[in-house]
Amino acid sequence: MIFYKELFHKIEKILWSIFLKPFFFSIDPEKVHHFVVGAMKLFSPIFYLRKSFYHFKSGGKNHPLLEKEVFGIKFPNPVGLAAGFDKNAEVYKQMSSLGFGFIEIGTVTPVSQDGNPKKRIFRLVDDNALINRLGFNNDGVNRVAARLRSKGNIIIGGNIGKNKFTPNEKAKDDYLICFKALYDHVDYFAVNVSSPNTPNLRDLQNINELREILYPLIEENNKRDTKPILIKISPDLNDDDIKKIVDMGLDLKIDGIITSNTTISRNKLKSKEKLTSEIGGLSGEPLTMRSTEIIKLIHEYSKKKLPIIGVGGIMSTQDAIEKLNAGASLIQLYTGFIYNGPSFARNINKEIIKSLN
């Protein structure tokens, strides 16, 4: 069985590096994304067989060194898929078969919206990075919630935001609508106030604005069994502002922080200026160091009291280990998954096991 498993991995690696990645990277990134999602839906039995194979190989058990309990949830492993890939909860079951311990869907908004005009995703291959200005394109929270009714035991995070046309002074209403609609279908919530692609959204990271959004969510949460609520922050905040958010999070008993979203910084990029000057959020390798710095800051400043999901610039298995060592309880992938292919989450899990033995 081990022989066939290793053979499968080698074939998969060859297919990705020699054929699939060059082919995908020759096509517009958003078109590739829609093609991949469509193919995953069409060939979903293959993904279920893949998951069944690993399930059989392990005797139906997760590796004990990978299991983690964070904010009251038992995760089969600490490697999650970040919000943005499966915005509309279409392929979370297929993605879980690729070794992800949890999937974060969204960002979702109360009403469906198309997002910003295309073209709106750009590959910066020389920087192992992406720029996107998608703008919360999604099917609307009710349609997304309907797709999660059969999620089974897959751990799902619900990343929630506001519609583009909703003014900031009414943003709390949008977040509450999404919170109520997803409540019975997700395991935790990520309050997204840090995307650079919705006008003025990042202003909601101001402490007073953020409290206005969180109070109704906490009040609604306390009426029920309570679901973990996390805040997703920007890497462009200065350290003092991050500390203020940490203080507020501890004061309000928020369950954790996700750091970080994409950056508007364009420092020290190698790609052509035509690409680097595109408006939008930058993700990938240029974000690696800053994301890890923020994890360390929050971990130390909160005296380890605030769980952290580390995301941003995880482009190698070593990047993943560094974020966990910096204080992240869990990690998430997006751009690193795009560049490294379908085995990336499993490779990280294997490296985590090695590091703990």
Asked if the structure places residue 46 within a domain, the reply is no
Is 11 within the bounds of a domain? no
Residues that are catalytic: 195
Within a domain: 1: no
Asked if residue 269 belongs to a domain, the reply is: yes
In a domain, 48, yes or no: no
- Given a contact cutoff of 8 angstroms between Cβ atoms, the answer to whether 250 and 305 are in contact is yes
SS3 content of the chain, % helix, strand, coil (to 5): 45, 15, 35
Whether 14 maps to a domain, the answer reads no
d(CA 319, CA 317): 5
Show Cβ contacts of residue 43 under 8 Å, excluding neighbours closer than 6 positions: none
Q: Which domain holds residue 208?
A: 63-356
Q: How many domains does the chain have?
A: 1
Residue 8 lies in a domain: no
Nearest 5°: the CA angle 335, 153, 232 is: 40
- Does residue 6 lie in a domain region? no
What is the distance between the alpha carbons of residues 299 and 307, in angstroms, rounded to a whole number?
A: 8
pTM to 2 decimal places: 0.94
Residue 171 CB contacts under 8 Å (≥ 6 apart), including other chains: 162, 204, 209, 212, 213
Paired tokens of 139: 């099917």
pLDDT tens digits in sequence order for the chain, 357 residues long: 555 556 666 777 788 889 999 999 999 999 999 999 999 999 876 665 655 555 545 444 578 999 999 999 999 999 999 999 999 999 999 999 999 999 999 999 999 999 999 999 999 999 999 999 999 999 999 999 999 999 999 999 999 999 999 999 999 999 999 999 999 999 999 999 999 999 999 999 999 999 999 999 999 999 998 999 999 999 999 999 999 999 999 999 999 999 999 999 999 999 999 999 999 999 999 999 999 999 999 999 999 999 999 999 999 999 999 999 999 999 999 999 999 999 999 999 999 999 988
Residue 321 token pair: 């280990």
The domain that contains 191 carries what CATH number?
3.20.20.70
